[in-house]
Structure 1
Amino acid sequence: MMRWLPVALIFILLFLQASWWLGPNGKSENQVVAAKVEQAKAENEVLAQRNQALAAQVLDLQEGDSAIEEVARERLGLVKPGETFVLMPEQQ
């Protein structure tokens, strides 16, 4: 009986190690999930920075006419009365 006890313990240890390394919730799958979590964190950081920039732009547009005028000039070609519009060709 005493001879089989160490063999049984070694067998149990090997089985537990194999399931830990190769099992459905083992170390390899844990590493894959950890990599996905890191990727999601990086994407969230980029999106958080974008949200901050958009929030700042919204605040600028809500607070004054100068930001609205700047957007209108850049995107819509706003020209006030008395101003002269000059279009500069882009150099290539």
Structure 2
Amino acid sequence: MKRFILVLFALLGLLQYRLWFGDNSLTEYFSLKEKIQVRQQTNAELQQRNDVLKEEIQDLKSGTEALEERARNELGLIETGETFFRVVGGDNRTPQRQDNP
């Protein structure tokens, strides 16, 4: 009977070792689970970017409004009869407060 209990404890120890430190252990499982979450988040961000690019491509293929908007923003397009106004920003820094002693 003592041998049987000793064998059971040895088997339990072996299984515990494999569970915590062996191949496909719990630490490896949690590490892979975290990597999967990071990849899924990255994939979601890339999918959003791809959706925006697909919409932009569709706009560029379908009409001239997107082309005109791009020309205005990137190339400074001004049509005849329009007046161009350039807005120059002021100093955006907040004044530093001086404490009087």
TM-score normalised to structure 2 length: 0.83
Q: What amino acid does structure 2 have at the position aligned with 1:65?
A: T
Matched with 1:8 is 7
Give the stretch that moved more between structures: 81-90 or 71-80.
81-90
Q: What amino acid does structure 1 have at the position aligned with 2:39?
A: A
Deviation (angstroms), 1:3:
2.2
Deviation (angstroms), 1:90:
2.1
Q: What amino acid does structure 2 have at the position aligned with 1:82?
A: G
The ranges of structure 1 where at least 4 consecutive aligned residues each deviate by more than 6 angstroms after the TM superposition are none
Measured against aligned partners, the alpha-carbon deviations of 1:9-64 in whole angstroms (never above 9, x if no partner) come to 11111111111111132100110111000010011111111111111111111110
Deviation (angstroms), 1:89:
0.9
Give the stretch that moved more between structures: 80-89 or 60-69.
80-89
Matched with 1:55 is 54
Matched with 2:76 is 77
- Once residues 42 and 19 of structure 1 are traced to their aligned partners in structure 2, the CA distance between those partners, rounded to angstroms, is 31
Q: What amino acid does structure 1 have at the position aligned with 2:29?
A: N
Across the two proteins, how many residue pairs are aligned to each other? 91
Matched with 1:27 is 26
1:68 aligns with 2:67: yes
- Once residues 27 and 15 of structure 1 are traced to their aligned partners in structure 2, the CA distance between those partners, rounded to angstroms, is 15
The gaps in structure 1 that reach 5 residues or longer are: none
Matched with 2:97 is none
Q: What amino acid does structure 1 have at the position aligned with 2:58?
A: L
